[in-house]
Amino acid sequence: MKQFIKSVILYLPFLGNYYKLRTCKFAGFTLWRYFKFTFLTYDKTIYWPRDKTSQVANPINIEVGKNTSIGNHGCYIQGNGYLKIGNYVRIGPNVGILSGNHNEYIQFDQVKKTTIIGDFTWIGMNSVIVPGVELGERTIVAAGSVVTKNFPEGYCIIGGNPAKLIKKIDKNKFEPHLNKYEFYGYIPVNKFEKFKKKHLSKKHNKIS
């Protein structure tokens, strides 16, 4: 009987997607937030789950990959420039990720840069990723770090202020966890093309 109820739920568009999202264990995800996003939120540029204490600036310039969890408590995600966050990325509480900063001579001018966070990256709590940084696949950022330079090759542990290489990770030993169900935020992968054409800017056409 339990299996029958589960199979029925999976075929119901709203409840089916909710059930699948629950298996992804996204940070800050609840049925109410999913319902609110799906039916009550007019501005859908923030299409991923986030805690109520998490702030997002200029989401129209932010890409969030598949099964990525970036909406933890106290986080600040800023798209003043262009911010691309890859697939299966996890960040801890109170993390700042920036893609723009103030001009050193004219404070109210924005210096816009491109910030890239690679797939399977893990960013520890209280860390800051400054504008223009590129982190390659499976970069682990130790808690409390300030990342000011690129680590494009990835597969490493970095930490400190400014962050430096602590340890390299053997790529051949890394075992990525892939979920049975995949979503871009709240949106199933097979529905995302239609969603982004309707709700997101042309910048999001870079998502693949």
Determine which one of 73, 102, 199, 204 is catalytic.
Answer: 102
Residues 188, 39: Cα–Cα separation, whole Å: 16
The answer to whether residue 102 is catalytic is: yes
Nearest one of 183, 200, 185, 180 to 33, comparing CA atoms: 185
Give the contacts of 190 (CB within 8 A, at least 6 positions apart).
Answer: none
* Region for residue 144 given its phi and psi (left: phi exceeds 0; alpha: psi -120 to 50; beta: otherwise): left
- Between helix 2-11 and helix 13-24 the angle, nearest 10°, is 110
Give the contacts of 128 (CB within 8 A, at least 6 positions apart).
Answer: 95, 96, 97, 98, 145, 146, 147
Residue 21: count other Cβ atoms within 10 Å of its Cβ.
Answer: 22
> Which residues form the catalytic set?
102
